[in-house]
Structure 1
Amino acid sequence: MFERILIVCLGNICRSPTAEYLFRQRTESRHVAFSSAGLCAPIGRPMDATALQLLAENGIDGTMHRARQLMPSMLREADLILGMERDHVAAMIHLAPEIRGKVYMLDKWLGEKDIPDPYRQQRIAFEHVHEMIEKGVDSWQLYL
């Protein structure tokens, strides 16, 4: 059973906080703590407005989110770590090699596709990525 799940992307303002809040919504009755961080996070910055709007349209308030920089200690403390791209997984393993056995792609159960970064793109790109993240989050529910 996983108690601490960490979701990682590049900036921690679009993809990983979206996944974090979707996981929280879908696992309210379970005793799991979700958090997110970025490999190159603009520390303290709120979620991207479009990502935030898509969450709000699904009844989720992500306004309290602030970007966090990924630290090796966060990787070591997590029971499960989910990355958005293969490069993210590789970077995390490089940062803390001992985590190799607990880091996976968010899309692991759906073909392990990279989930592209929608940052600075039009809403349609965010909608596509949001849908990919929802499917990834839902695919993990059997294992939590």
Structure 2
Amino acid sequence: MLERILIVCIGNICRSPCAQTLMSETLSRGNPGLKIDSAGLEAQVGLPMEPTARAVLLEHRHRPPEHRARQLDGTMLRQADLVLVMERRHVDGIYRIVPEARGKTFLLGKWQGELEIRDPFRRDRPAFEQAYRQIRTAVEAWAVHLGH
């Protein structure tokens, strides 16, 4: 049984906190002990969620928690039962930190043909909307796969 899910991107201000919000809303209903966190491979520690990413979540009636970017470290990876990333290159970055994370690290878009979710940072609003839609679809697919 899963106790900890860790969602990883680069900066931990757009994609991973969005996915964390959606995953928490989707999976925590039937599993109050499940902990869902996010972190970044190159996080600017302490930054809040990117304003456009937060606005898109709010407009879709989600309730993002107060967020501060966190730097990914080996302890987080070792404690996680499942690690979900946005792009294939993130998998390599995780394996460099904790090689034993193999077997529990997957693309968030795994069930959409190994879809990579592009970073909307410093792009226009449609890029944030597209990332949101892809993340929402991927989270729904993971929920089905995990039996929720």
Q: Give the whole-Å Cα distance in 2 for the aligned partners of 1:63 and 1:28.
A: 14
Aligned partners of 1:47 and 1:62 also within 8 Å: no
The aligned residue for residue 94 of structure 1 is 96
Q: CA deviation at 1:26?
A: 1.1
The CA distance in 2 between the partners of 1:128 and 1:79, in whole Å, is 28
Give the secondary structure class of the aligned counterpart of 1:142. helix
Equivalence for 1:119: 121
Contact (CA 8 Å) 2:11, 2:42: kept in 1 or not?
A: yes
User: Which 5+ residue runs of structure 1 have no aligned equivalent?
Assistant: none
> Residue 12 of structure 2 corresponds to which residue in structure 1?
12
Any unmatched runs of 5+ in structure 2?
none
Aligned length: 144
SS in 1 for 2:126: helix
Q: What are the equivalent positions in structure 2 for 1:13-32 lying under 5 Å apart?
A: 13-29=13-29, 30=31, 31-32=33-34
Give the TM-score, by structure 1 length. 0.96
When residues 92 and 72 of structure 1 are mapped into structure 2, their CA distance, relative to the original with a 3 A threshold, is same
String of CA shifts for 1:48-74, please: whole Å, max 9, x gaps.
001000111122232501100000110
Partner of 1:47: 49
Give the letter aligned to residue 7 of structure 2: I
Tell me the TM-score normalised to structure 2 length.
Answer: 0.94
User: Aligned pair 1:134/2:141, yes or no?
Assistant: no
- Kept in 1: contact 2:39–2:72 (CA 8 A): yes
Identity %, equivalent residues: 48
- 3-state DSSP of counterpart to 2:89: helix
Is the 2:5–2:37 contact (alpha carbons within 8 Å) kept by the matching residues of 1? yes
Q: Provide the residue aligned with 1:109 in structure 2.
A: 111
Contact 1:38 1:67 in 2 (8 A): yes
- The residue that corresponds to 2:36 in the other structure is 34
